[in-house]
Amino acid sequence: MNYPKLNFKYSAAAIIAVAVMSLAGCSDNDNDSSAPVEPPVVAPVMQDYSVMITNLTANQPMSPVAVVAQESGSRLWSTGMAASVALETLAESGDSSELAGETGVNELFSGDGVLVPGATQSITMSLEQSSVADLSIVTMLVNTNDAFAGTTGFNLSTLAVDDTTTLRVIAYDAGTEANSEEKGTIPGPADGGEGFNAARDDNDKVHGHPGVISADDGLTDSVLSASHRFDNPVMMIKITRTK
């Protein structure tokens, strides 16, 4: 019986072609490099607050109110201790800008202009949830040598949404400038005198302010009148968590 001859030449070529096509369809896993997976961007959780401040005095304008968000346990002052230079600057001139550099301060918010007697001012702030801790609120009584009013170290984390806390605060004496009430020593409208002075000529301790005396009360060299006297509390603060 005669069998047809196989053409091995063409059969071998076909096998090689199929093998090449098969290899072309395979990927080299060792050389694959997948793109890095970017983690999703998570927006910070914010908490919003409103701080309303009312000047309770008869004739003591207050410097633009400073609201300071701080780390837990931070304080801007302690009675019986020396005032920092930043607090001295505020208490003598009304300038609160240096408080931003104090230890533990996260953010500084400032009111719009002078808070006149009897007026109320509102300051809003939004803080990241992770940085909500303590709050200080402070301002200068500008018709004095170095009186300031406020509160320090209020724990914001105690407030739930829509909670409000009301504080009535006293005036403090920075202890950095003698309460001479003399012409040229008071920056407010009663005198228009000097503001901050680096020299300290008082007891150098923060304490409750004894009040002004004035010319009407027998202090001959005073530029103040009886209208500039004040009783405590000198300021009312309402802190509300709004979100």
Tell me if 141 is assigned to some domain.
Answer: yes
Tell me if 233 is assigned to some domain.
Answer: yes
Tell me if 180 is assigned to some domain.
Answer: yes
**Which residue is associated with the tokens 């680096």?**
198
**Dist CA 117 CA 62 (whole Å):** 8
**Dist CA 180 CA 147 (whole Å):** 12
pLDDT, residue 44, reads 84
Tell me if 26 is assigned to some domain.
Answer: no
pLDDT, residue 37, reads 82
pLDDT, residue 3, reads 46
With helix as H, strand as E and coil as C, how does 217-243 read? HCCCCECCCHHHCCCCCCEEEEEEECC
pLDDT, residue 6, reads 45
Task: Identify the three-state secondary structure at position 166.
Answer: strand
Degrees to nearest 5, angle at CA 196 with 77 and 168: 40
CATH of the domain at 113: 2.60.40.2130
pLDDT, residue 65, reads 98
Tell me if 40 is assigned to some domain.
Answer: no
pLDDT, residue 36, reads 81
Other beta carbons within 10 angstroms of residue 89's beta carbon come to: 23
121-151 pLDDT tens trace:
999 999 999 889 999 999 999 999 999 999 9
pLDDT, residue 20, reads 45
pLDDT, residue 120, reads 98
Tell me if 171 is assigned to some domain.
Answer: yes
Closest CA to 151 of 210, 49, 237, 57: 237
pLDDT, residue 35, reads 77
**Dist CA 26 CA 190 (whole Å):** 90
Range of the domain at 202: 46-241
Residues of the chain with pLDDT under 50: 1, 3-4, 6-10, 15-16, 18-20, 23, 26
Structurally, how many domains does the chain consist of?
1
Reduced DSSP (H G I as helix, E B as strand, rest coil) percent helix, strand, coil of the chain, to 5: 20, 30, 55
Tell me if 29 is assigned to some domain.
Answer: no
Tell me if 31 is assigned to some domain.
Answer: no
